[in-house]
A and B are shown apart, each in its own frame.
Chain A
Amino acid sequence: MGLSPFRRAGSLSKPAASNSSEPTGRSSSLKNRSVIFGLLAALFLFAIGCTKDGMSTWDAYGPVAQKQLDLFNVLLWVMVAVFFLVEGALLYAIIRYRKRPGQPKPPQIHGNTTLEVTLTIIPTILVLGLGIWSVFTLFDLQDPDPDGPTPLHVNVTAHQWWFEFEYPDAGNGKKIITANELRIPVDRPITLQLESDDVIHSFWVPKLAGKLDMVPTRKNNMWFQADSDKIDDELPVTLYGQCAELCGIAHALMRFRVTVMEQAGFDSWAAAYGPPPTNSAKAKAGQQLFAANCTLCHTIDGPDDPALSASRLTGFLTGGDITPVPAPNLTDLRTRSTLAAGIIDLSETSLRDWLRNPEDIKAGNYMSERAVLYQNGAASLTDEEIDALIGYLLDLP
């Protein structure tokens, strides 16, 4: 699983890197130096080249990513073989046939049809073989195994610059809408329908599956699954995702997380999904502040009302200074681990910084631009008010 492609890829990177010594052959000292340089560079790249960090494609956690990786690994082997063959031939020709003093004019060969035809047919067969195999993979990955576990369906909507996740039925018919953190049960296929509210985005969790664009006017479908036997760490495990299509100024800051959980953990999260409690006076104050300042765009009492979402979208597309825009659902904010589309860890401090001046953390965000609160830059709220809001949102004692 995870480790083997890593090791394979690492060792393969070596010859490719040493290419920097390719067309030498003038003087032997130069050649030697280049070879040494190439080897050093190769070793260096080998050491740091392939990682299994958060976004790595070398570390598949599920069948979709694994099959894509398998295909790539085979391609890589073929590429490396061809690389050695062709660059080897090139290097050999360069060294072997360099001009020697007093050498007569070389034979004037114009070509060799048999050789040409052979060298056309061999690669044709090779690429057709790979091509046909990839077509099989393509169709194979189209849908999850119909005989497997029942898939969990999620609708994903991209917004500038955050992701909205809607579970039409997260269990027992409960509908959930959340943002920027997708929770999925392990060993169960997840089917996703991808849409966009504004411009083109792309949905990508490298460890689970390759990307698929999120296009306005289009509903794209994909699926993936996290397999427990491919995950070494204890669940829940958090994976990285990121928008992969340029979508405007905060494109680099449009990230998200996928948390793989045991089915039981997922169920209890789903059951607990609901507005934050208002047991203390401070929380009640926070609730009132929220209602007064935030509800034009944010929903906190369960899934968004579709009509309200539609009117927010209209507001967004119409533009203007103070119009409602679609914004992340905050019902379960207190259970999330990140803030502002996965760019910073969620804590009391980070939430305070964010509420004071979101522009400092995420340049270009629509909260700073459109909300009344931020029309003069920093929030027009007192520290106490911000504290109350934080207490309410995070359900702090």
Chain B
Amino acid sequence: MTTVDHKRIAILYGVTAFIFLLIGGLEAGVIRMQLASADNDLIGAGRFNEMFTMHATTMVFMVIMPLGVSFFNFVIPLAIGARDVAFPRLNALSFWIFLFGAVLMHMSFVVNQVPDAGWFSYANLTEKPFSPNRGLDFWSISLLVMGVASVAGALNFIVTIINMRAPGMTFMRMPVFVWMTLITSILLVLAFPVITVGLIELTLDRNFGTHFFIPAEGGDPILWQHLFWIFGHPEVYILILPPMGIVSEILPTFSRKPLFGYPFVVFSGIVIGIMGWAVWSHHMFTVGLGPVANSVFTITTMLIAVPTGVKIFNWIGTLWKGAIEFTTPMLFALGFVALFIIGGLSGVSHAVSPSDFQQQDTYYIVAHIHYVLFGGSMFGIFAGAYYWFPKITGRMMDETIGKINFWLIFIGMNLTFFPMHFLGLNGMPRRIYTYSAELGWENLNRIASFGYIVLFVGILVFIYNILKARNSRRVSHDPWDAPGLEWSIASPPPAYNFAEIPQIQGRDHYWIVKEKAEAAGTPITEPEALVDPSSIHMPSPSYWPIFTAVGVTLIGGGLLSHYALSFVGGVIAMMGVIGWSNEPAAAPSDHH
């Protein structure tokens, strides 16, 4: 509860997000079961709308983002040779606010007023006359609360990466994962304020009588779409860039070759980060913005395919002439590349606006986003989980079960989502809870629903594998013979990470070190020696972060129930900040 150690916070993030993955996954299951047959009435329309809204909101904001943050937390300080993040207590604050915000969102189930306007919540369906219950207030206020957590976390990582690299680690020696984290964090810091404003305006509309998105009073519901997608498209890259970074770590490790075209991979990431701001209206091709706007966004969106393609070429180039070992993390990383290609290609087809007019809001798009977010992001995250598990715990996950896990998820994923391409092209719109049999969508839906079961079993196997790993053998500090700095220290790493801050000798630092040692006839078999922890000043645990997080969440909760509660929350948050700034941090870096 009071920890400020980045490794423990990483585990907290990981476990929390994984629980939400199960919740979101069950919601997906309800959706798939409802759609498994035509004219089905398993659940009603209202419930169905709640399910897909919460499924997407959960997966985006409470699963993939925090899982990414979990890896940032664990890996970044280790990969750049730091003892912790720049602001350990701020880091703890981010986690607690995220957790409380996510719980607040799910309180909507308790009072049975669940958000039901989609994860994009297009105005003006979200306004009081059309969504009278408190569901959308839960949605917007919880997202505001979680937004604070995301921005605080991202600020922390930007400072950490820019300022806390070990001597010798220049920007162009940083591991690609660190690069992608930096770009992601910058995107987060810049994109979240935009949605914050949108959410504030929505909240004001719903609770304080403004008319930002109410057409009858002159408001324009399209403004919401602009605000949402100016945030939403960078958000897409926030979700995919970290897994791209993970894969860029894993492919070289198991090909025994450095990453092919490192500068190109890095620069393509930067270019994606910049161009990601210039394509948002491709989510709005059918709004009727006119042929000129649609042309411009068609071209910019087509162009963003290029840096993405560059990454894929470089990954294949990394494999080329390598000595590929098929470990579980490698399988997931290869799965990522294979599936991301499909997602990328289908993306090009709806980047073209005339073609998108037929595909927008159909299952073709659902297939596309799941190929990039499941085939892409989640595969990258699974790859990372298998890859860093021995570093996190000092134990290995079972490789055989890991492979079963991979194949189940890989096959289940394709069974579930590939048919959706056809469904979309056969005209099935998204977000419909029922369809009539005469439209010929039933068989494909059945396959998709069956695929879901396979996928679900795959996830259960993953859980089993993790639980089983508790009793598995301990492994050395460097079981994969990996290039990253994090593998040079003990597993699990001591609280202080590095007894001595290392001098970085190049990209793939640890490979260089190991090779030199081998050439000198003294191969490295042991991690860096442990030292007496009391000789190193580490930040002391603090309960102020959780205290402040309670205050911040109460401010939001008060808006949902009684404003007095908001006031109490404000007072608590203020007390937290005062207590915080008066508390001497053992670490030299202190946040005001």
Contact = CB atoms under 8 A, between A and B. Distances in A.
Direct contact, A vs B (beta carbon within 8 Å):
yes
Interface of A: 9, 13, 16-17, 19-20, 22-23, 25-26, 37, 41, 45, 48-51, 53-58, 65, 67-69, 71-72, 75-76, 79, 82-83, 86-87, 89-90, 93-94, 97-100, 103, 105-112, 115-116, 119-120, 123-124, 127-128, 130-132, 134-135, 137-139, 141-142, 160, 194, 198-200, 202, 204, 206, 209-213, 215-218, 220-221, 240, 242-253, 317, 319, 343, 363-364
B324 A123 contact: no
Contact of A93 (B320, B325, B439): B320
Nearest to B216: A317
A23 B403 CA distance: 12
B140 interface: no
| Among all A-B residue pairs, the 5 with the closest Cβ atoms | A210-B357, A55-B427, A252-B432, A220-B288, A53-B440
A51 B305 CA distance: 30
Judged by DSSP, the binding face of B is helix
B331 interface: yes
Interface of B: 44-46, 49, 116-118, 122, 124-125, 129-130, 215-216, 220-222, 255-258, 260-264, 286-288, 291, 294-295, 298-299, 302-303, 305-306, 309-310, 312-314, 316-317, 319-326, 331, 334-335, 337-338, 341-342, 345-346, 348-349, 352-362, 410-411, 414-415, 418-419, 421-422, 425-436, 438-441, 443-444
A123 B305 contact: yes
Given A89-B316, A128-B303, A138-B291, A252 B349 contact: no
B220 A242 contact: no
Contact of A97 (B222, B323, B353, B427): B323
B255 A252 contact: no
Most B CB atoms within 10 A — which of A69, A127, A217? A127
Contact of B124 (A110, A137, A200, A243): A200
Most B CB atoms within 10 A — which of A67, A86, A105? A86
B537 to A, nearest CB: 39
A90 B438 contact: no
A50 B424 CA distance: 10
Contacts of B334: 22-23, 90, 94
A49 B216 contact: no
19 contacts: A23-B331, A23-B334, A53-B441, A54-B439, A72-B352, A79-B349, A98-B323, A105-B256, A105-B323, A107-B257, A109-B320, A111-B262, A116-B313, A120-B306, A215-B221, A217-B221, A244-B429, A245-B361, A250-B45
Contacts of B433: 252
B322 A106 contact: yes
A156 B59 CA distance: 37
B261 A116 contact: yes
Contacts of B411: 20, 37
B183 to A, nearest CB: 19
Contacts of B222: 215, 217-218
Given A94-B319, A244-B362, A75 B349 contact: yes
Contacts of A216: 124, 215-216, 221
A108 B259 CA distance: 9
Contacts of B341: 83, 86-87, 90
A220 B287 CA distance: 8
B321 A138 contact: no
Most A CB atoms within 10 A — which of B45, B116, B314? B45
A199 B221 CA distance: 9
Contacts of B116: 249
Contacts of A244: 286, 360-362, 429-430
Contact of A53 (B345, B426, B432): B426
A97 B319 contact: yes
A218 B358 contact: no
A199 B346 contact: no
B261 A112 contact: yes
A90 B338 contact: yes
Nearest to A67: B354
A281 B298 CA distance: 62
A22 B353 CA distance: 30
B128 to A, nearest CB: 9
